[in-house]
Amino acid sequence: MSDTFPTVPAPIVTRVNPGDVPADVVDRLRAGAIVAPADVAVLDLTGPGAVASFQGLLTSDIEQPGDGAFVYGALLTPKGMIVVDGWAGRLGARVRFTVPREGQERAAAILHRSVPPRLARTVDRTADCAVLRVAGAHAVAILGAAGLPAPPHGHAVETTLGDVPLEIARATERAPFTFQITAAAEHQGAVMKRLVKGGASVADAAALELARILAGWPRLASEVDEKTIPQEIGYDEIGGVSYTKGCYTGQETVSRLHFRGHANRHLRGLLFEVDSPAPPAEGWTAVMEDEREVGRVTSLAWVAGADRWIGLAVIRREVAIGAVVRAAGREARVVTLPFDIPAVGPA
C-alpha cells in the first residue's frame, strides 16, 4: 500500500480464554446488559466540508440519514481493500469517527491527507474522551432506568447527565453492542455509576470481545488483513457498505464485485465439538476440509456456561454451511452468523 493508505499489520487470532469472561457476564449479555470501556480511538472531523468529505471516503452513507446519523463502515485503498473500520457519528458540522485503537494512526493519516484543511480539520480526541459501550438484550431498558435517552437504531444524540455533556449513539441491530456513550475522560466513573444504578453490570474489554465474536462482527487485524475487501467479511449483512451513495475511495472494486461477481471467501462461524479433548491450538490458524486448506481461523472464544469453544474464520465460499472441518487442529462445524447466546445455569 502507499503512504497515503498505510499498511495493515499481519493478522492475529483474537482469543477469549476460559476465565476471561465469567458465566454470569455471559448471562448478562443474554438476559441483561453490561457496560465496559471500549479500547478505541476518537477522531473528530470538523468544518463546513466535514460531512461531504467523509462521505467521499466511507463505505457507508452518512449523508442520506441526515444529522444525527450513526453508521458503521470502512476506509479503503483505491483497490477496495480495508485500511480501517469504525463507527461514524454525524452531529452538525462534525463527524466523529470511533475506530479500533490499532487503527488510530491509519485513520488519522487518511483523514489528514485526503481532506483539505479549508474544508475540515481532523482532531484526535482519544486522550480527552471516554467511550463506553453497553451490550446485552436489555440494554434499552437499562438506559431508560438510568434516566438516559435511547435514540433510534443508527442515530446519535447529545444530552447531559446533570451538568456532564454526553453523546449517546445507538448501533444497528446486528452490532455487537447496543449503545456507545462518549463523554469527557474525567466523567467516565460518573457515567458508569449511573448505568450500574440502572441495572447494568460492569465488565471489561474481554466481554466486549466475546459479544463481538457472538455477533459475527469483524475486527481489524484479526478478520481483516491487508487484502480484505468488505464483502469477504460480511459487510453486506451487517450494513457496512452502501451501493446507492455517490463515489468513495475504492468504490469501483466493491461495486464491481457486488454487481458482476462474488467474493471467493466469506466470514463464517465455527462451533467446536463439546467433547474435544483439548482447546483449539494456539499458533495454528489453518481451516482444513478433506486435507485441503480452505481458510484461516481469525477469532476464538470460550463461552462459559455453555462450556464450549466458538470461533470465526474466513473460509472459501464452496465450503458448505454445516460442513465439519478441522480448525486450529480441532473438529468444528461451519455455521451461519450471528451465534445464539446460550442460557447459563438452570432454565
Task: Find all residues with CB under 8 Å of 17, minimum gap 6, and list them.
Answer: 302
Give yes or no for a cis peptide into 346 (omega within 30° of 0): no
Separation CA 98–CA 89 (nearest Å)? 8
pLDDT in tens, 99-113: 999 999 999 999 999
pLDDT digit string (tens) for 154-181?
A: 999 999 999 999 999 999 999 999 999 9
How far, in whole angstroms, is CA 234 from its chain's centroid?
11
Beta strands in the chain (DSSP E): 14-16, 34-37, 40-46, 70-76, 82-91, 94-100, 121-124, 129-135, 155-161, 164-170, 179-184, 201-202, 265-272, 286-289, 292-303, 308-316, 324-327, 330-335
| The residue to which cell 474466513 is assigned | 314
pLDDT for 345 = 46
With bands split at pLDDT 50, 70 and 90, how would you rate the model's confidence at 347? very low
Q: What is the pLDDT averaged over residues 319-332?
A: 96
For the residues 197-209, what does the mean pLDDT come to?
97
For every residue of 281-309, DSSP letters joined together read PTT--EEEETTEEEEEEEEEEEETTTTEE
Q: What letter represents residue 334's amino acid?
A: V
Instruction: For the chain, report the end-to-end CA distance as a whole number of angstroms.
Output: 52
Gyration radius of the chain over CA positions: 20
pLDDT score for 4: 53
C-alpha dist (Å) from residue 204 to 20, 25, 105, 141, 274 = 9, 10, 24, 21, 26
If you average pLDDT over residues 295-323, what whole number do you get? 96
Residue 3 has pLDDT above 70, yes or no: no
pLDDT band for position 132 (cuts 50, 70, 90): very high
- Check pLDDT > 90 for residue 319: yes
Check pLDDT > 80 for residue 211.
yes
Given strand 34-37, what is the order of strands in its sheet? 155-161, 164-170, 179-184, 129-135, 34-37, 201-202
Entry pTM = 0.94
Distances (CA, A) of 294 to 200, 268, 288: 41, 12, 6
**Is the model's pLDDT at 137 over the cut of 70?**
yes
